[in-house]
A and B are shown apart, each in its own frame.
Chain A
Amino acid sequence: GDSVTQMEGPVTLSEEAFLTINCTYTATGYPSLFWYVQYPGEGLQLLLKATKADDKGSNKGFEATYRKETTSFHLEKGSVQVSDSAVYFCALSEAVVNQFYFGTGTSLTVIP
């Protein structure tokens, strides 16, 4: 079945450091891929998405490229800020099965 595997946390970085959170997936069809962010005490919010191979999603300085050949969708940001401290979830959806699959989440803490 479909699944998402993402980098274990927690991750602690200094402000302005480069961020990479790895995400790989297994899917039977042609999924769409998402990154969601969960700030403390809140629900998940969509950060970015990509719907087909080689698409790049971007938002708030974060980027991720849908790589079909490596079944990956790694999240990157060139210079993190304290306000980026949150839990990040990689996810995929396949319309045919009407289900959404999430990774286990990666907790990021950015220190000044």
Chain B
Amino acid sequence: EAQVTQNPRYLITVTGKKLTVTCSQNMNHEYMSWYRQDPGLGLRQIYYSMNVEVTDKGDVPEGYKVSRKEKRNFPLILESPSPNQTSLYFCASSLLGLAAYNEQFFGPGTRLTVL
């Protein structure tokens, strides 16, 4: 089944404790992206990647890191999480970057709480 998977689905952690949220897709998509969803703000893009070893900042990259060493995986790293990073996070992927007709496929989301 074609899908985007994320792990963990739920995570409660404390300020400053490094964490990684994994994202994997099995559709051979070049483009992958991370978003955070906050009430009243919709989805905001954190980072995106056009291909292996190519990453770029989205609208809200501060406090996050990503890597793209393999085409299928795009982990999101919080080196020193803070309470303002409490949010619902989504990974997404698509073919051929953001060509006009491409849809993004979303993972199920990771709900992160930073105490």
Contact = CB atoms under 8 A, between A and B. Distances in A.
Nearest to B57: A99
A contact face: mostly helix, strand, loop, or mixed? strand
Interface in A60-112: 89, 91, 93-95, 98-100, 102-105
B107 A43 contact: yes
Contact of B97 (A32, A95, A103): A95
Interface residues of A, number: 27
B99 A95 contact: yes
Q: How large is the interface on B (under 10, 10 to 19, 20 to 34, 35 or more residues)?
A: 20 to 34
A104 B104 contact: no
A51 B102 CA distance: 9
Contacts, number: 64
B106 A43 contact: yes
A45 interface: yes
B42 to A, nearest CB: 4
B41 interface: yes
B106 A104 contact: no
Interface stretch (B11-19, B43-51, B67-75, B76-84): B43-51
Contacts of B97: 95, 98
A109 to B, nearest CB: 16
Contacts of A17: none
B47 to A, nearest CB: 11
Given A99-B59, A100-B33, A51 B42 contact: no
Given A44-B106, A46-B103, A98-B98, A105 B42 contact: yes
27 contacts: A4-B42, A30-B100, A32-B100, A36-B106, A42-B108, A43-B90, A43-B108, A43-B109, A44-B92, A44-B106, A46-B104, A49-B101, A51-B100, A51-B101, A52-B100, A91-B43, A94-B98, A98-B48, A98-B50, A98-B56, A98-B97, A99-B48, A99-B58, A99-B98, A100-B33, A102-B35, A102-B42
Interface of A: 4, 30-32, 34, 36, 41-46, 49, 51-52, 89, 91, 93-95, 98-100, 102-105
Given A95-B98, A95-B99, 4 more contacts: A44-B43, A46-B104, A99-B59, A100-B45
